Amino acid sequence: MHTTIIITFGLALLALMLFIGEKIGFSRQTLTYSFIVLWLALTMINGAIGVVTAGQSVTTEMMVGSIVFGVPVAALVLFMVLTAQT
């Protein structure tokens, strides 16, 4: 359940960054790189907390972390491909 909540948070963060960032005037390239760096940092922090506090193994956290990181990034790639300006 925690994984689903974190993935949902990542998708909401992505939507907010894209919406607000484009309204402010940032380029999509800047928003893309910013989201990936921010989401990677948050995923790593979440994994570290899981290892230290919840007692999860590093291997388990790396597998779950790759899913947690990958789903919002895949959504970002899909969004970028579908809205590509020709």
Q: Residue 86: is its pLDDT beyond 60?
A: no
Q: Please say whether the beta carbons of 31 and 22 come within 8 A.
A: yes
pTM for the model stands at: 0.91
Q: Residue 85: is its pLDDT beyond 90?
A: no
pLDDT in tens, 31-80: 999 999 999 999 999 999 999 998 899 999 999 999 999 999 999 999 99
Cα 82 versus chain centre, distance: 19
